[in-house]
């Protein structure tokens, strides 16, 4: 049985598709890790005490990073509970 040299076998097509899927997953994981290290200022070459850049207001709308107080946590939880019970 002779095969047309222009045709690609089914196993070759499957290998190409699997390779493309694996590559897409790896690239997506790379960008997720890159985004998270950028957002958290944990680049391998960054200093430990870098203040957030004011141009990063998409990540830090107020321009500073602070720990939530227990009162703020309780207010947010109450708000979420009210939303869930009213729906």
Residue 1 lies in a domain: no
**pTM for this model (two decimals):** 0.41
Q: Could you read off the pLDDT tens digit of each residue along the chain, which spans 87 residues?
A: 456 666 778 889 999 999 999 999 999 999 888 887 777 766 665 555 555 555 555 555 555 666 778 888 888 889 888 888 886
Residues 67 and 36 in one domain: no
Residues 44 and 72 in one domain: no
Residue 69 lies in a domain: yes
Residue 87 lies in a domain: yes
What's the structural domain count of the chain? 2
Residues 42 and 66 in one domain: no
Residue 55 lies in a domain: no
- pLDDT confidence of residue 17: 95
Q: Concatenated DSSP letters for 4-17? A: -TTS--HHHHHHHH
Residues 13 and 42 in one domain: yes
**75: containing domain:** 61-87
Residue 66 lies in a domain: yes
Judging by beta carbons within 10 Å of its beta carbon (0-12, 13-18, 19+), is residue 3 exposed, middle or buried? exposed
Residues 65 and 46 in one domain: no
């Amino acid at each position: 049985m002779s095969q047309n040299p222009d045709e690609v076998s089914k196993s070759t097509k499957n290998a190409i598709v699997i390779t493309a899927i694996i590559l897409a997953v790896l690239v997506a994981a790379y960008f997720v890790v890159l985004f998270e290290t950028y957002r958290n200022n944990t680049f391998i070459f960054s200093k430990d005490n870098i203040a957030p850049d004011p141009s990063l207001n998409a990540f830090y709308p107020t321009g500073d990073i602070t720990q939530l107080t227990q009162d703020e946590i309780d207010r947010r939880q109450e708000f979420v509970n009210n939303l869930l019970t009213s729906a």
